[in-house]
Amino acid sequence: MGRRVFLDNASTTPMHQEIIDMMSDMMKSTFANPSSVHSSGREAKVIIENARKTIADLLNTSPGSIFFTSGGTEADNMAIRSTIQDYNIQHVVTSKIAHHAVLYPLQDLENKNIIKITYVDIDNDGIISLSHLKDILKNNSRTFVSIMHANNEIGTIQDIKKIGEICNDYNAIFHSDTVQTIGHYPFNMEDLNVHFMAASAHKFHGPKGIGFIYISDKIKISPLLRGGGQERNMRAGTENVCSIAGLAMAMQIAYKNLEEETNYIKGLKKHMIKRLKTELNDVQFYAKCTDLENSLYTVLSCHFPETDISEMLIFNLDILGISCSGGSACNSGVSQGSHVLKEILPDSKRPGIRFSFSKYNTKEDIDFTIESLKKLFR
């Protein structure tokens, strides 16, 4: 098999070897049910609570605000469905470029006539209009606001501190999908007026199938899943002990080396931008993707000239050994295209590619990818 380059780290990341080793050992040694009162069960419970405290300390919040879930999608659904039900919310604000883990449950509730959704205006970079948000909140009853921190497709970052302040001014409940930013950016929950945040371990070199929801102590909701009394009666189901430990370890590693690894990945992104601009014709970039400080440093989303290989670009790159994501606003055939790109560039048929990076990528990976693109577009 030839060289393989993985540039799809916004979809998932490779696990750190030390986490794989730790989890493997834990599966053999600490397999008891954490709800059991015997010593083996108590040992497993201690691992969970230590992980909870580790995560809380990294976010500058209390352990009581952290609840483990199966990942970001469950966390988003829990915040949305439980809050709307418990607080009899009838009006919701989100954006049309929100993740489907947010859009689909909200649209499901709207289709059942439980809520009405208002979509806040966004500019060509995907940044929401704060003035429009204020106007919406000013003229409606108590509202649930869901704005994702950073868009997974185009890398646009929202100012959740300002959004939280506006929500606080109008007594709105604020949820933010932070799946792309936790483990990649520092958080101080004492400075943010956010009621809910979602995280997923596999986005920062942890295991799949585990994440958490942050719930502010300013709000109380009922559980989405009922059954046992796990997670202080907030999330039924026997806890995945070794994955919870892996999540906490991944966050520790991420924040321990955050500045160094951020700068390293920014260097890879900068190198790729430079080579794309100078060595390929008519490559354009979505939103603020080339702004290293105001877009996800892990994501570079660009689009290429429309050619006879446009619809097969991802497939052709895969054949050449490069894993990445892509799409366009107006794909034909079975693909419906990207709902995000439809909002940013609604009439474009140019093939879009999202390259996303991690600490395990190298400059040689970038060079190999550029040379492969040059072969395809020569």
Residues 193 and 165: their CA atoms lie apart, in Å, by: 6
- Which of these is catalytic: 242, 302, 324, 330? 330
Rounded-to-integer distance, Cα 79 and Cα 77, Å: 5
User: C-alpha dihedral over 180, 186, 189, 191, to 10 degrees?
Assistant: -120
What is the Rg, in whole angstroms, of the alpha carbon atoms belonging to the chain?
21
Quote the CA–CA distance of 7 and 368 in Å, as a whole number: 11
pLDDT on residue 35: 92
The domains of the chain, with CATH numbers, are 5-14+258-377 (3.90.1150.10), 31-256 (3.40.640.10)
Which residues in the chain belong to E strands, given as ranges? 5-6, 66-69, 91-94, 116-119, 143-146, 173-177, 196-200, 211-215, 284-285, 299-303, 322-323, 325-327, 352-356
Local structure of residue 122 (DSSP, 8 states): B
Give the count of beta carbons closer than 10 Å to the beta carbon of residue 1: 4
For 65, phi then psi, to 5°, come to -95, -5
Mean pLDDT by 10 residues, the chain (378 residues): 92 98 96 94 96 98 97 97 97 97 97 98 97 96 97 97 98 98 98 98 98 97 90 90 98 97 98 97 94 96 86 92 75 63 85 95 98 92
Q: Which residues contact 307 (CB under 8 A, 6 or more apart)?
A: 377
pLDDT number for residue 289: 94
**Residue 329: per-residue pLDDT:** 43
Task: State residue 356's pLDDT score.
Answer: 97
At residue 261, φ and ψ (nearest 5 deg) are: -70, -35
CB atoms within 10 A of CB 188: 10
Rounded (10°) angle between helices 258-279 and 241-256? 70
Amino acid at 40: S
- The answer to whether 302 is a known catalytic residue is no
Query: φ and ψ at 265, to 5 degrees?
Result: -70, -35
Three-class secondary structure of residue 256 per DSSP: helix
Long-range CB contacts (within 8 A, 24+) of 266-273: 266/292, 266/297, 267/363, 268/357, 268/361, 268/362, 268/363, 268/365, 268/366, 269/297, 269/298, 269/300, 269/357, 271/363, 271/366, 272/300, 272/355, 272/366, 272/369, 272/370, 273/300
Mutual orientation of helices 39-59 and 241-256 as an angle, nearest 10°? 30
Distance CA 150, CA 243 (A): 25
Tell me, what's the pLDDT at 125?
95
Return the residue matching tokens 């030390």: 18
Residue 172 CB neighbours (<10 A): 25
Measure CA 184 to chain center. 10
